[in-house]
Amino acid sequence: MTTSTGRSADTGLYVHFPWCVKKCPYCDFNSHPLKDALPEAEYLAALHKDLHHQRPPVFSSVFFGGGTPSLFSASTFASLLSAADLAANAEVTMEANPGTAEHHSWEAYLASGINRLSFGAQSFDNAALKRLGRIHSNDETRTCVQNARAAGFTNLNLDLMYGLPQQSTDQALLDLKIAIDLEPDHISWYQLTIEPRTEFAGRPPPLPVDNVIEEMETEGVRLLADADFTRYEVSAYARPGKRCRHNLTYWTFADYLGVGAGAHGMRSGVQVLRTEKPRSPRLYLTDPTHTVTSGVSHTDVPVQFLMNVLRLVDGVPFTRFEEATGLALEHLLPTWQKNVDLGLVQPDRFATTAFGYRHLDAVLQTFL
C-alpha cells in the first residue's frame, strides 16, 4: 500500500546489534565478538541519533536483529520503542541467543514492548551445537522457550539449520520434531550454507551430499505441514496467523528503515533508494548519522522486486509491482509470459508454480 505522500504505509524498522559473545564459524552477518564491556549506553545514544536523523515514519513492525540483541537489557529496547511511532498492534521482534538467557528477564523484555522472540536454536543435538561453535546446549534452548511462554510471550520463532556437518536425515528430522514439540508459532528452517570469509570457508566441514539434503527437505516440509506449519517462504513456516510481518515487508518489497551498524534500508518513491550504515561498530559510534544512499536503476528494480516476492509461496498480485516501485508492469510482462509458457510461473500473479519454486534461480535468471 502507498500513502498520498508516496511512502509505503507498511514500513518496517530494522535495528542492528552488532556484538556476540563469540563468532560462530558459519556466520557472515555483521557480528563481532565482544572483547570488552558492552558499550550499551553509548550504542543506545547512537541508535537514537541515527533513528531521529532518518526522519522515521509510522512503523508497522520492528525487528531487533544481530548479532545478539539479547546481550542488551530491556530498558534499551523500551527507550528505542518510546522514540519510534508505532502502528497499533505493531509486531516487535527481538532475536535472542539461548546462551544469553541468564542476563535478562523475559518479563522485562515483554514489558519493554517486545512482543515476539526469535530464538537461535540451530539444532537440539549437543554434538552438532558444539561443531557449530554455539554457546548454548539443547536444554538451554528448551528452558528459554518455556520461560518466555511463562512470562507471557504469545509469538515465538525458532531458527533451525539443517544440512549440518555430519548430519543424517534422521537427525535433521529429529531436530524438527523437538522444535515442533516445543510448540513455537513459527519456525525458520535454513539450509546451512558455507559463506565466503567465514571460519567454515577456510576449513570446510564434511556436509551431507545433495541427495541427502533433498531427502531432508522433502521429509522436513512434510513433517512441518503435518504439524500445521505452513511454508510461506523458502525458509519460513508459520502456524495460522503467525507469519512474520516484519520479514513480509522485505518479501513484498515494502519500505524499511535500517538503523544501527551495517543496517540496510529501502524506500520507494520517484526512485527506489537503498541505504546502508557503516558496518564497523567503531565507525558507526563515531558518526551514527552517516548513511550511504544509492538509487536502484530502473533496469535493476524488476529483478530485485522478483528476487523478493518470488520467495513467497503465494507470491503477490501483479498490481504490487507498480504500487511498490512506481514502474509500469509492461516492463516485466513479456519475460513473465515466457516463463508461464514453460510452466514455471503463474499466469495471473507474481508467483511461481510448484515446479518453478524448485527452480527459483533459473526463473530469476531470465529477468537479468
Residues that bind ligand SAM (CB under 6 A): 26-27, 29, 65-66, 68, 95, 97, 120, 122, 159, 161, 190, 192-193, 195
The interface partner of residue 57, options being ligand SF4, ligand SAM, none and the CB cut-off 5 to 8 Å by kind, is: none
Q: Which is nearer to ligand SAM, 115 or 157 (CB)?
A: 157
Residues 6+ apart with CB under 8 A from 201: 194, 195
Residue whose CB is less far from ligand SF4, 20 or 62: 20
Q: Provide, for the chain, the percentages of residues in helix, strand and coil under a 3-state DSSP scheme, each rounded to the nearest 5.
A: 40, 20, 40
Q: Which is nearer to ligand SAM, 2 or 235 (CB)?
A: 235
Residue closest to ligand SAM (Cβ): 120
Minimum distance from CB of 21 to ligand SAM (Å)? Answer: 10
Closest approach, Cβ 161 to ligand SF4, in A, equals 9
Residue 193 binding result from ligand SAM, ligand SF4, none, given CB thresholds of 5 to 8 Å by partner type: ligand SAM
Taking residue 18's Cβ as centre, other Cβ atoms within 10 Å add up to: 23
CA distance 343 to 346: 8
Which one, 122 or 339, has the nearer CB to ligand SAM? 122
Residue 195 interacts with which of ligand SAM, ligand SF4, none, CB < 5 to 8 Å by class: ligand SAM
Instruction: Quote the cell numbers at residue 218.
Output: 522433502
Tally of CB atoms within 10 A around 62: 26
The answer for residues whose C-beta is within 8 angstroms of residue 149's C-beta and 6 or more apart is 156
The one of ligand SF4, ligand SAM, none whose footprint includes residue 190, by CB under 5 to 8 A per kind, is ligand SAM
To ligand SAM, the closest distance from the beta carbon of 160 in angstroms equals 7
103 binds, options ligand SAM, ligand SF4, none, Cβ within 5 to 8 A by partner type: none
Nearest distance in Å: CB 23, ligand SF4: 5
Give CA 85 to chain center in angstroms.
22
Give 187's strand partners.
Answer: 158, 237
DSSP state of 296: P
Q: How far is the CB of 173 from ligand SAM (least distance, A)?
A: 17
Q: How far is the CB of 193 from ligand SAM (least distance, A)?
A: 4
Angle between helices 169-181 and 210-226 (to 10 degrees): 20
Question: Binding partner of residue 262 among ligand SF4, ligand SAM, none, CB under 5 to 8 Å per kind?
Answer: none
Q: State which residue, 96 or 316, has the beta carbon closest to ligand SAM.
A: 96
Residue 353 backbone phi and psi in degrees, to 5: -85, 175
Distance between CA 102 and CA 110 in Å, rounded?
16
Least separation in angstroms between residue 70's CB and ligand SF4 is 10
CB 29 within 8 A of CB 43: no
Distance CA 114, CA 161 (A): 25
- Cβ closer to ligand SF4: 100 or 352? 100
Query: CA dihedral defined by 70, 73, 78, 80, rounded to 10 degrees?
Result: -70
Provide the minimum distance between the beta carbon of 43 and ligand SF4 in the complex, in angstroms, as a whole number: 16
- SS3 for 52-120, per residue? HHCCCCCEEEEEEEECCHHHCCHHHHHHHHHHCCEEEEEEEEEEECHHHHHHCCHHHHHHCCCCEEEEE
Give whichever of 9 and 27 is closer to ligand SF4, judged by the CB atom: 27
Where along the sequence are the contacts to ligand SF4 (CB under 6 A)?
20, 23-24, 27, 29, 31, 66-68, 97, 120
Q: Which is nearer to ligand SF4, 119 or 232 (CB)?
A: 119
Q: Which is nearer to ligand SF4, 262 or 288 (CB)?
A: 262
Residue 23 binding result from ligand SF4, ligand SAM, none, given CB thresholds of 5 to 8 Å by partner type = ligand SF4
CB of 120 to ligand SF4, least distance (A): 5
